[in-house]
Amino acid sequence: MPDPSDTGGSDKQRRKALTSYSQAGTYIGSGFQFAGTMVAGLFGGRWLDEKLSTAPLFLISGILLGAVAGFYHLYKTLVQPPPGPAESPQPEESAEPDSAQSESPEPGVSEGAERRWEGKG
């Protein structure tokens, strides 16, 4: 009798599929956000036109503003992907300064250059 928990694929294949879906989720979300900003601009512009009696002025402006905001987010998503594990910020080592290290008197001067200048290295 076959095991009901066995789906026929290896664990490696399942992980690869999940990784693909998680990467695609970023782009799917960007598409929904693009559409959402345009719809929000449409309804916001329509509401302003009703309140101020300025029919199609704010409707068109709202749609254009929504499109610009949607394209901006889409551009940021496609050109600047989110940082991966290698690009994550490193935690600071210690909040206390080391008494053996002296701060450089000039900004931009490395510690090695400072030692050579002082004749210590």
Q: Quote the pLDDT of residue 77.
A: 83
Residue type, 34: F
Express each pLDDT in 74-88 by its tens digit: 888 888 766 666 555
The rounded distance, in Å, linking the Cα atoms of 115 and 109 is 10
Q: Is 103 exposed, middle or buried (0-12, 13-18, 19+ CB in 10 A)?
A: exposed
Q: Quote the pLDDT of residue 92.
A: 58
Domain ranges of the chain: 10-80
Q: Quote the pLDDT of residue 44.
A: 94
Which segments in the chain show pLDDT lower than 50?
104, 121
Q: Quote the pLDDT of residue 6.
A: 55
- pTM: predicted TM-score of the whole model, two decimal places: 0.52
Show Cβ contacts of residue 107 under 8 Å, excluding neighbours closer than 6 positions: none
Express each pLDDT in 34-47 by its tens digit: 999 999 999 999 99
Q: Quote the pLDDT of residue 22.
A: 78
The rounded distance, in Å, linking the Cα atoms of 94 and 92 is 6
Tell me the pLDDT of the chain averaged across its residues: 75
Q: How many CA atoms lie within 13 A of 31 on its CB side?
A: 5
